[in-house]
Amino acid sequence: MADLLGQLEALAKGAREAIGSAADEKALEDLRVRFLGKKGELSAVLRGMGALPAEERPRVGEVANRVRDEVEALLAGAKSRLDARKLEAELAGPPIDVTLPGRRVLPRGHRHPITRATEDISAIFARLGYEVASGPEIELDWFNFEALNIPPDHPARDMQDTFYVEASTLGDGAPDGSVLLRTHTSPVQIRAMQRLGVPPVRIICPGRVYRSDYDQTHSPMFHQVEGLCVGEGITFADLKGTLAAFARAYFGEGTRTRFRPSYFPFVEPGAEVDVSCSICGGTGRIPVRAQGQAGEPPQTRRCGTCKETGWLEVLGAGMVHPKVLENGGFDPKRYSGFAFGMGVERMAMLRYGIDDLRLYFENDLRFLEQF
């Protein structure tokens, strides 16, 4: 035992001297390995403990621990001394110009096509006097369905379409079925009316929405832009004029719009809005380079984007239902309004000629770098 204690004593003495005079971090690290490393001096002593009688081991163990603590403290002390010295040397040396441009030229990134389309759409409505509103993606059933006049037995409420949150596990008393991932941006209509309280309400809401669907034209998460305009004397003509102006600004000056009667529980009357196809110019056919002789009719091929109809369905719209105005806190006898909702993925697909929606979310740079 005396032998091992002597070795520990010598180890500590050696460490004090060596660490005290270590010149840099590298030297310090070498000393750490020499004294405390797996194959270092302390380990060697500890290995010797195996040969001791059991009653002597605690004493040697105790001293070994003390020596290890001391060496660690010496190393830490030396490290902070070296750090301080280094800092002083830097401060005393020539100054660094932090305003110099970087040496490495990194390629500049760019916005995702969905972000770009969202910003383009928002900018157009901003010019028409709309402000951007937002709402939560985890939404109450009341805002997403009930307040929008969507009855309890409506198919959209089916588990097949809607992602419900297991509300009973949240611990705040909300029953299952009352909390969900919003299936559209329309709940923001109610939230915006409640927040603003007085007309005019002119908001658009871009944001993520969720539905249980996945194929070439459906993704479980996608983006919509909602629009709402409420005030005195707002008519269907305002809705048509607004959306026609938007379509021209987004798809190009010559774009025509067409309204078809449709049903959404939160509008009355409701419409589905088509724009003339941006790919074929609304003709349904795309010219192919003429190979025939002069005098022959020009060759064309079928436009796959509009399926030869010349029209693209781009959004849902209508006059805000009186019950919805009421739920937003507006007197439907005095005020009227219109609302519309569009899918951003689809708007970008139609503008950039993208044919598979899943491309947006696969993060393949060969796709993303084309924008």
Examine residue 157 and tell whether it contacts ligand PHE (CB under 6 A).
Answer: no
278's tokens: 């941006």
- C-beta pairs of 110-116 under 8 Å, 24+ apart in sequence: 110/369, 110/371, 111/371, 112/360, 112/368, 112/371, 113/348, 113/352, 113/354, 113/360, 113/368, 113/371, 114/223, 114/344, 114/345, 114/348, 114/360, 116/348, 116/371
Residue facing ligand PHE at closest CB distance: 341
Which of 342, 370, 340, 344 shows the shortest CA–CA distance to 357? 344
| Contact range with ligand PHE by CB under 6 A, out of 28-36, 121-129, 236-244, 314-322 | 314-322
Which DSSP state fits 360? Answer: G
CB of 341 to ligand PHE, least distance (A): 3
Task: Name the one residue in this structure whose structure tokens are 């190979």.
Answer: 291
Tell me how far apart the alpha carbons of residues 64 and 11 are, in angstroms, rounded to a whole number. 10
* Contact residue for ligand PHE among 125, 250, 264, 335 (CB under 6 A): 264
Task: Print the binding letters for residues 173-192 with ligand PHE: x by CB under 6 A, - otherwise.
Answer: -----------x-x------
Among 113, 316, 328, 337, binds ligand PHE (CB under 6 A): 316
Q: Which stretch binds ligand PHE (CB under 6 A): 60-68, 79-87, 197-205, 337-345?
A: 337-345
Select from 76-84, 103-111, 197-205, 312-320 the region that touches ligand PHE (CB under 6 A).
312-320
Mutual angle of helices 25-36 and 41-48, in 10-degree steps: 10
Q: Tell me which of 247, 267, 325, 350 binds ligand PHE, using CB under 6 A.
A: 267
**Region near ligand PHE per CB under 6 A, out of 62-70, 87-95, 230-238, 311-319:** 311-319
Contact set with ligand PHE (CB under 6 A): 184, 186, 264, 267, 316-318, 339-341
